[in-house]
Amino acid sequence: MSRQIIVGNWKMNGLTADSAERARTIAAGLPAGSSAEVVICPPFTQLAALASIVKDTRVGLGAQNCHKDEKGAHTGDISPQMLTDLGVSYVILGHSERRQNHGEIDETVREKAVAATKAGLTPIVCIGETEDQRQSGETQNTLGWQIKGSLPDGFSGILAYEPIWAIGTGLAATPDDIRETLSFLRAELIRQFGETGKSISILYGGSVSADNAAEILAIQDVGGALVGGASLKPDAFLSIVRAASAG
């Protein structure tokens, strides 16, 4: 298995002092010789300060969104170039909270993924089904269309499978469900992207915790985890990193 990646999505949490403290604790607590890649994604306002804190550590820095344009009349938006300028390497795109609360559709996400890649960022594109889609047996159909719509041709980033019903609920998908969905996603990536589809990492996200991480990260083809709530607690986040390193 290739190197697993553990991404912490801090969402809209963190003022200057506690963000700095959290980043320092995570950097200092990384297991020696860890085989996992670790990325933290704080709010935009914390990126500059955290860039200098994680510089020269093994913690990578990501943002939670970006615009598709390099510059221009887009009040309140942040371009991919503004992120690389700060030392940011990753960007989460198409998170379900952005799709739901900001009307982002697959096409928006795809355009952002193109722009992010062009700027030198690694996009982490999120897809996932709602509880209703799951209940009506539409999971695979939904995910297949999201891959087709959200990932640009020649996509070379990371895919994050995050069932919406599992995000922030404390109810992660079962290992059997993750295994089955990931094998569908892998087949779909290969169908849509050919050979490249074999090497796109697929993260699982949705209530990953210190308790369930080892089981989830041991599942065949899980390339790592996108972690929300537990990434705000350094102890829990570091346990998840250790679980990845052990895999």
Catalytic site positions = 95, 162
Binders of ligand PEP among 169-198, rule CB under 6 A? none
Query: Of the two residues 4 and 9, which places its CB atom closer to ligand PEP in the complex?
Result: 9
Instruction: Say how many Å lie between the first and final Cα of the chain, rounded.
Output: 9
Per CB under 6 A, the list member of 42, 80, 157, 206 interacting with ligand PEP is 206
* CA dihedral of 195, 99, 210, 42, whole degrees rounded to 10: 100
Q: Which residue in this structure is represented by tokens 């799709």?
A: 99
- Shortest Å, Cβ 169 to ligand PEP: 7
Query: Is 207 an interacting residue with respect to ligand PEP (CB under 6 A)?
Result: yes
- Shortest Å, Cβ 11 to ligand PEP: 6
Query: Is 50 an interacting residue with respect to ligand PEP (CB under 6 A)?
Result: no
Query: Is 108 an interacting residue with respect to ligand PEP (CB under 6 A)?
Result: no
Query: Of the two residues 202 and 230, which places its CB atom closer to ligand PEP in the complex?
Result: 230
* CA dihedral of 96, 134, 158, 13, whole degrees rounded to 10: 30
Per CB under 6 A, the list member of 104, 106, 129, 162 interacting with ligand PEP is 162
Nearest of 199, 198, 209, 202 to residue 233 by alpha carbon = 209
| Token representation of residue 126 | 């999120």
Give every CB contact of residue 225 below 8 A, 6+ residues apart in sequence. 4, 6, 7, 203, 204, 205, 208, 213, 216, 217, 240, 244
Per CB under 6 A, the list member of 205, 223, 224, 234 interacting with ligand PEP is 205
Query: Is 168 an interacting residue with respect to ligand PEP (CB under 6 A)?
Result: yes
Which window, 17-25, 111-119, 144-152, 200-208, contacts ligand PEP (CB under 6 A)? 200-208
Nearest of 105, 206, 100, 200 to residue 162 by alpha carbon = 206
Binders of ligand PEP among 225-244, rule CB under 6 A? 226-230
DSSP secondary-structure letter at 86?
H
Query: Of the two residues 92 and 193, which places its CB atom closer to ligand PEP in the complex?
Result: 92
Query: Is 42 an interacting residue with respect to ligand PEP (CB under 6 A)?
Result: no
* Measured distance CA(207)–CA(167) in Å, rounded: 6
Return residues touching ligand PEP (CB under 6 A): 9, 162, 167-168, 205-208, 226-230
